[in-house]
């Protein structure tokens, strides 16, 4: 399969797959346009007038179990369908209710951006296209997998998840640990604390490597460069941290001083995130904005507003085309980095959103908030799929398990069978491709299991002192891990799936492992 680029996207006549897909796409676009116009229809708020209007257009004035609010929504829907069938661009406003709708019409507005931002948007689009193509191709393969094989893979993976137990605990700082993150090679753990210090630790030995000092106030977030400890030079940018001193620091692995200091925020910086390409960094701040930075030039590319209160959490989608922000206004927003538009509004929590995470499947999002719940959102349907009453206090962090292919271990190839003394060759006991037999009698290869397990579970941390592991398909609790603290500030899962780290208010971090 040829890699998808701008040029091939323009020339590909089958980009939408088939004529049927084109028609389905057009139907979806028409429905979105209808809903957009329906929002501009003014209808009466008085239930009696709503019934009278329904009678005028020949619709039932009430349905079984229908409430006044539902009846008004039905009237809006019917009017929008009528106008759409007529082909009217302008929506007919109900005369009786025109005096009741004096609100100003909302419209999109744009602010001028720099040429550097335009070039960054182009690079992000070019980077994201082939990654999205690869992800969707793998999902198409997984969708054709037999149900029995899926059930067996789930049982095996969840069986391993339920084995997680405490491996060790280490005092990480003199003040609470605000965030923990595993390095891409799973050999180093970085911790950020309220003392303003970023520390690197060997894992699972829990021995200190280096302390990075540069912040003068609480560190709110830390993040690894996607290629740090892998192909990235130790002398280059490997880490980013943000703190309450309003600054972001870019760090190498060989120096205790920052390589660069990013200045621009007016208030405390909370969470930070690296773009999957490693070329950009995003930061969330109490100044009600999030910002995008160029790592190479240390320049601010974008100052994005949109929240009415402090922005606490920020996270990139794995493809690199989207970014999600969560604010203390209890609203989350998904932004398209290629256009600057809002792709989805996550409206459902009743208290501030403290954590946000994209699933590796690219279209589901998990948010943890101060209302003690975890919400799962689906970007395809633009709504909340499920609400998990996960903890008895604030949900401080959520992290999906994302498998890294470099940690996949292929089964050893069996040695060729040599003839016996009589010259006979015994049948091979194992084929060159090792398969496993599940409880339902189906077989699956290690490659199939590895590709399917990514994103199959996620972890959450709460101020109730627990780390909880959840299945990411039916959202059921798999395992509860206790800590020695009343508040767990952060949690992370290693990309090989064998370790979990939790940073606590008690100034320590704890490691859990599924290896016996």
Q: What share of the chain is helix, strand, coil (3-state, %, to 5)?
A: 20, 35, 45
Alpha helices in 271-351 (DSSP H): none
Bridge partners (DSSP) of residue 344 are: 334
At residue 19, the pLDDT reads 67
Q: Which residue positions in the chain have pLDDT lower than 50?
A: 16, 90-105, 428-433
At residue 22, the pLDDT reads 72
At residue 11, the pLDDT reads 55
At residue 501, the pLDDT reads 97
Task: Classify the C-alpha dihedral 328-368-324-268 as positive or negative.
Answer: positive
At residue 430, the pLDDT reads 42
At residue 342, the pLDDT reads 92
At residue 314, the pLDDT reads 97
CA dist 56 to 45, 52, 75, 255, 509, Å?
Answer: 16, 6, 11, 76, 67
At residue 101, the pLDDT reads 44
| Opening angle at CA 469, ends 464 and 472, nearest 5 | 130
Phi first, then psi, for residue 151 (nearest 5°) are: -60, -40
How does pLDDT run across 9-56, given as a tens digit for each residue? 655 555 545 566 677 777 777 777 777 777 778 888 888 999 998 998
CB 249 within 8 A of CB 221: no
Residue 246 DSSP symbol: S
- Pairwise CA distance, residues 461 & 393, whole Å: 10
């Amino acid at each position: 399969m040829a890699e998808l680029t701008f040029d091939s996207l323009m020339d590909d006549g089958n980009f939408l797959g088939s004529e049927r897909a084109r028609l389905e796409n057009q139907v979806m676009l028409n429905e979105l346009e209808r809903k957009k116009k329906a929002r501009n229809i003014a209808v009466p708020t008085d239930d009696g007038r709503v019934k009278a209007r329904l009678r005028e257009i020949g619709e039932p004035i009430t349905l079984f179990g229908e409430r006044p609010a539902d009846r008004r929504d039905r009237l809006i829907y019917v009017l929008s369908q009528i106008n759409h069938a007529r082909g009217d661009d302008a929506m007919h406003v109900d005369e009786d209710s025109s005096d009741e709708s004096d609100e100003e019409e909302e419209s999109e507005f744009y602010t001028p951006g720099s040429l550097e931002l335009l070039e960054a948007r182009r690079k992000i689009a070019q980077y994201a296209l082939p990654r999205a193509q690869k992800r969707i191709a793998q999902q198409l393969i997984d969708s054709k997998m037999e149900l029995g094989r899926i059930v067996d893979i789930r049982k095996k993976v969840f069986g391993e998840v339920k084995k997680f137990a405490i491996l060790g605990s280490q005092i990480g700082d003199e003040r609470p640990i605000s965030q923990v993150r595993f390095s891409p090679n799973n050999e180093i753990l970085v911790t950020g604390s309220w003392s303003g210090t970023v520390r690197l630790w060997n894992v699972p030995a829990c021995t200190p490597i280096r302390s990075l000092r540069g912040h003068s106030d609480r560190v709110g977030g830390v993040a690894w460069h996607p290629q740090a400890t892998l192909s990235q030079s130790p002398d280059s940018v490997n880490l980013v941290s943000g703190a309450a001193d309003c600054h972001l620091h870019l760090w190498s692995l060989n120096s205790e001083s920052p390589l660069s200091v990013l200045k621009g925020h007016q208030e405390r910086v909370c969470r930070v995130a690296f773009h999957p390409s490693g070329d950009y960094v995003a930061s969330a701040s109490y100044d009600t904005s999030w910002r995008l930075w160029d790592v190479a030039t240390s320049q601010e590319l974008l100052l994005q507003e949109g929240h009415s209160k402090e922005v606490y959490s920020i996270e990139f989608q794995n493809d690199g085309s989207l970014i999600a922000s969560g604010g203390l206004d209890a609203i989350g927003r998904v932004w398209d980095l290629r256009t600057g538009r809002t792709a989805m509004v996550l409206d459902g929590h009743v208290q501030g959103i403290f954590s946000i995470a994209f699933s590796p499947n690219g279209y589901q999002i998990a948010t943890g908030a101060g209302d003690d719940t975890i919400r799962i959102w689906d970007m395809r349907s633009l709504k909340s799929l499920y609400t998990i009453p996960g903890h008895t206090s604030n949900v401080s962090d959520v992290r999906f398990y994302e498998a890294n292919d470099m940690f996949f271990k292929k089964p050893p190839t069996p040695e060729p069978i040599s003839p016996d003394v009589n010259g006979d060759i015994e049948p091979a006991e194992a084929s060159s491709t090792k398969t496993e037999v599940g409880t339902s009698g189906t077989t699956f290869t290690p490659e199939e299991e590895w590709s399917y397990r990514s994103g199959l579970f996620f972890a959450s941390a709460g101020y109730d002192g627990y780390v909880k592991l959840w299945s990411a398909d039916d959202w059921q609790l798999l395992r509860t891990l206790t800590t020695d603290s009343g508040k767990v500030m952060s949690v992370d899962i290693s990309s090989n799936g064998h370790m979990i780290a939790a940073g606590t208010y008690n100034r320590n971090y704890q490691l859990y492992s599924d290896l016996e």
